[in-house]
Structure 1
Amino acid sequence: MARCFSFTASRDWFYRYSFFSAGLRSVTTDLGEGTIMHCWVPKTHNNSKPNLLLVHGFGANAMWQYGEPLRHFNARFNVYVPDLVFFGESYTSRRDRTEVFQAQCVMSMMEAHGVHRMSLVGISYGGFVGYSMAVQYPQKVDRLVLCCSGVCLEEKDMENGLFKVADLEEATSILLPQTPDKLRELMRFSFVKPTKGVPSYFLTDFIEVMCTDYVEEKRELIRTILKHRKLSDLPHITQPTLIIWGEEDQIFPLELGQRLERHIGESARLVVIKNAGHAVNLEKPKEFIKHLKVFLLDSIYSSS
């Protein structure tokens, strides 16, 4: 008998309703050359407020990753929450799979909405995109938060055993789970205390709703991140940067956060959250939001 109820779809509806209730609306922007970007944007842009861009990582869509932080910041910021290319409702016919291209798409979308300066929060892969935006548009990105984002990884790190997976293909099979067992594995990698005993039909439902679109394109995104990557090639940024890391992150080990702080230098500060893994924004939301508030709201008062 066909299923008539999807827990994942229902949860997604709840997040969508919460975004509407927070004063945001769902908008798609045609950037040309076969690229469409979707973003949650303020129903009414308030010119007296600063702008805050929230960039998601791999996993469930942007609403699931930023549902909790949104309600803490939409009163003081014009909040923008995009879907990156090949996530949610965003896509492209172009062949570029770099974070540089993703960053250009996000900035083009923001400028189409009349936003030319912003602070930015990037989680995991979203941090790669956010870092690239800070490099390419230094006058437009005021402050940057990078959460468990392995921007400083190198291709040789995989060979040298920094990661707990044997190779890149194993990593992609976990980050893009297509079976309940792979999703359980992703949960074990992402959380210090993953939920146990989740029935397979719940996991299958999540995969069918969240993990079956643009699978090959997302694999290419992951492969492109690592290919020929060297720390010596990573440009420096000068914006005030908060780096947040789960102490027990098994996807991007803490060593990468420490490496990133050294690479950026004096303008960066690393905060390590104990008893948290890669999904620190979901596992320790109160601590995560506390650090965001101190860093981002301080930017308002120091500039006023």
Structure 2
Amino acid sequence: MDPKLDLLLRSFTFYISSILSIIRFFLASFHRFKQIPSAFALSDACISLYFRLCGLSPVSIDVDDTTTLHFWATAARNFRPSLVMIHGKCGDSRWQFMYQVGHLSRRFDLYIPDLLFFGKSYTARKERSEVFQAECLAEGLRRLGVDRFSIYGISYGGYVGYHLADMIPDRVDKVVLMSTGVGCNDDQKDELVAKLGRDPKLLLVPRTTDDLRQLMLKSVYRSGYMKLIPDSFLQDYVNVREIGHKKEKMELVDHLLAKSSGAGRSLPVLTQETLLIWGNKDYVFPMNLAYQLQRHLGSKARVAIVKEAGHAVNMDAPDEVNRLIISFILG
């Protein structure tokens, strides 16, 4: 399909979904005259409807008696290659993949989980490691009937995806990791935290509009438009998306930054072909970490650098990221 026509169709689909979502919200709330949906609530509903228009449906899977994983999954499987998309620390899967799901859903059967303590996923167990997240995800996918798949993980999702690929190599075809600190040693962790200039938990688990705005500005290189987002919208986002399971989310950050973990020394070498996507303006995980991880993985790994993109390459350059993923996995 011609790229311009493809962009036009995607834009048309998004705007139609937005209009339909707004109508649905007002019709549902019409009998409650005092209840006016906020701008964030409307945007949230638009994104959910857009996912549905892309052929995905929400589904919750009980991994065990105390653990539930929520997915957005392809409703009618077309026996295309399966792609598991794993989000990072901020928000749930819909908000991080909203610029990619339309394009990728036409080439893959998608399975997009909310990691534990994000969205509707939860566990009563005390484990907070990326390995435990990967174990739960492996079981959730098995129960969904997803036998073989490729992985695309962003930032924290890259940590989880890495361990998932190592854990069940016979089920994972290819791996795409984007802007992830997998393999950082303790000294590098200290440098990264010092560079942020504030407690990482205040950024990764934002409590105020300033925390969230700072996270956005440090993650997205082309972030000029974000200065125009009103505080009221950001506050709604914090109240709805970040307020839940705050303690557990902070424990996830603590585990990620824990010293003497030996991550750089004991990190296994994946057997799958692996693509490392990085923005050349990544403020969180600089490019040298991409090449460090490539050296660790050996000849089966390659690096793709996206120019004028920051940590959130999927938001700075979604079309280029989509092309890289499709070419790598289907090539």
TM-score of the two chains, using structure 1 as the length reference: 0.92
1:88 aligns with 2:115: no
1:35 aligns with 2:98: no
Among 205, 210, 213, the alignment partner of 1:176 is 205
Among 234, 239, 246, the alignment partner of 2:279 is 246
Q: Can you list the C-alpha shifts for 1:140-188, whole angstroms capped at 9, x where unaligned?
A: 1110000101111122223346751357xx0111111111111121122
1:77 aligns with 2:103: no
Among 278, 298, 308, the alignment partner of 1:265 is 298
Q: Can you list the C-alpha shifts for 1:32-68, whole angstroms capped at 9, x where unaligned?
A: 130011111222223x322111111111210111122
Larger radius of gyration: 2
**Corresponding residue number in structure 2 for 1:16:** 48
**Corresponding residue number in structure 2 for 1:148:** 179
2: distance between equivalents of 1:112 and 1:247? 39
2: distance between equivalents of 1:136 and 1:109? 14
2: distance between equivalents of 1:247 and 1:162? 19
2: distance between equivalents of 1:159 and 1:50? 39
1: distance between equivalents of 2:105 and 2:63? 26
- Identify the range of structure 1 (147-156 vs 197-206) with the bigger mean alpha-carbon deviation: 197-206
Question: Retained in 1: the 8 A contact 2:193–2:200?
Answer: no
User: Percent identity at matched positions?
Assistant: 38
1: distance between equivalents of 2:191 and 2:114? 33
Among 25, 34, 56, the alignment partner of 2:57 is 25
Question: Retained in 2: the 8 A contact 1:153–1:229?
Answer: no
- Letter of the 2:168 partner, please give it: Y
More helix, by proportion? 2
**Corresponding residue number in structure 2 for 1:190:** 219
Among 144, 149, 152, the alignment partner of 1:118 is 149
Q: CA deviation at 1:105?
A: 0.7
- Letter of the 1:86 partner, please give it: F
TM-score of the two chains, using structure 2 as the length reference: 0.85
Q: 1:224 to 1:75 in 2, by over 3 A?
A: same
- Letter of the 1:295 partner, please give it: F
Q: CA deviation at 1:218?
A: 0.8
**Corresponding residue number in structure 2 for 1:45:** 77
Q: Can you list the C-alpha shifts for 1:173-229, whole angstroms capped at 9, x where unaligned?
A: 111111111112112211223222432212212211211111111111111112223
Q: 1:200 to 1:74 in 2, by over 3 A?
A: closer
**Corresponding residue number in structure 2 for 1:97:** 128
Q: Secondary structure at the match of 1:265?
A: helix
1: distance between equivalents of 2:325 and 2:214? 29
1: distance between equivalents of 2:65 and 2:314? 34
Q: CA deviation at 1:103?
A: 0.5
Question: Retained in 2: the 8 A contact 1:154–1:226?
Answer: no
Q: Number of residue pairs matched?
A: 294
- Identify the range of structure 1 (157-166 vs 35-44) with the bigger mean alpha-carbon deviation: 157-166
2: distance between equivalents of 1:41 and 1:162? 35
Point out where structure 2 has 5 or more consecutive residues left out of the alignment.
1-33
1: distance between equivalents of 2:229 and 2:60? 35
Among 262, 270, 288, the alignment partner of 1:237 is 270
1: distance between equivalents of 2:215 and 2:99? 21
Point out where structure 1 has 5 or more consecutive residues left out of the alignment.
299-304
